[in-house]
Amino acid sequence: MYAKVSSRSDKSATGTGAKQSTQHSAHQRSEIRKKLFEFEDNRLAAVVYGQHDRNLARIEQLLGVVLINRGNRVAIEGSAERTEIAYQVLTDLNAMAGEGREIDTGEVDGAVRMAEGAPAANDGLQSSSNGGSLHTASAPRAAPRGSDLKITTRNRVIMPRSKGQADYVSKLATADMVFGVGPAGTGKTYLAVAMAVARMLAGEIDRIILSRPAVEAGESLGFLPGDLKDKVDPYLRPLYDALYDMMPAEQVEKRIASNQIEIAPLAYMRGRTLANAFVILDEAQNTTPMQMKMFLTRFGENSRMAICGDPSQVDLPSHITSGLKHCLNKLRDIEGVAVTRFDASDVVRHPLVGRIVEAYGDDDGR
């Protein structure tokens, strides 16, 4: 039934012919593993496979394994470690599909990142006659990896798609003040907005306050046209986009009108005490040390703060120290303050973004 998989395995084991020693060929065969994943529900199998099996092709591309699907069964072939990871990815995607979630490339990439960060489980592998191994098991819809950290909003359920995101979501759920520090595309702001919306919908807070320094290219708020909202809207657009992704548009507009969701530019925060609120500061790398101190000391009763920034994208003049870098040094050992540091492996945008981040490395952009 799975002749294609067997032929691939045989080729890997014996294709080097007389040029390789018998001992080396046996070693090659021992590295090949096969495992069989079986879906209990054919409809879920179709969802996980994707149109024209594109999700399976993506798993093959990311993990370097071979996947052959027949009906509700998928034969997995590859190294022992990669085979186990692929099996876990299919398990997690099966669980997501069982929850009614659409399985797209982003979900597949996230499942792979999460599975790669978990310890391998080699139980159930049995030796096969060709030196590989075969595992046949029905796969129940267990909770997907990271599901205990899911954030539920009106429009969607958000789950971490990387180890860094899992750490960040865990800290957002438990710590009073959380710093999300790292490159673009890692979900720092998006996840903070999701947690804020979830807490407001659950009645745990009364308000969401969004703030961002408007200092890009040295432009001052006072010289921009319009009222306060008009002045800061261009700078806060990423936060609006996240809000509209979490709630219906009419709900967002209604809550903004009633000040449940408040636009509070950093320049206008002085002297306030922010109580019963989830406060998010985006682009924190563009604050000065004094601005950052002012913002952090606005912290009020029953409030949470998320401070998001990318130290490699500072738009301040070169002689001014970034308030984000300064405060991370100052608050290193303060109880109640948590920090998640993202890296290129946590980038959840297009894979090219991750490669660009790696290429720039620690360049501070100055």
Q: What is the predicted pLDDT for the residue at 362?
A: 58
| H helix intervals, the chain | 3-14, 22-31, 42-49, 54-63, 80-98, 105-116, 163-174, 188-201, 228-246, 249-257, 289-296, 323-330, 351-360
d(CA 9, CA 229): 63
Retrieve residue 11's tokens.
Answer: 């080729």
More confident position, 65 or 332: 65
What mean pLDDT do residues 262-286 have? Answer: 87
Query: Among 98-102, 173-177, 202-206, 266-270, whose mean pLDDT is lowest?
Result: 266-270
Average pLDDT over residues 40-49: 92
Q: Hey, what amino acid is at 322?
A: S
- At which residue do the structure tokens 């990387």 appear? 162
Q: What's the pLDDT score for residue 287?
A: 93
The pLDDT score that the predictor gives to residue 221 is 52
Q: 26-37, pLDDT tens digit by residue?
A: 444 447 889 999
Q: Would the pTM of this model clear 0.75, i.e. be above it?
A: no
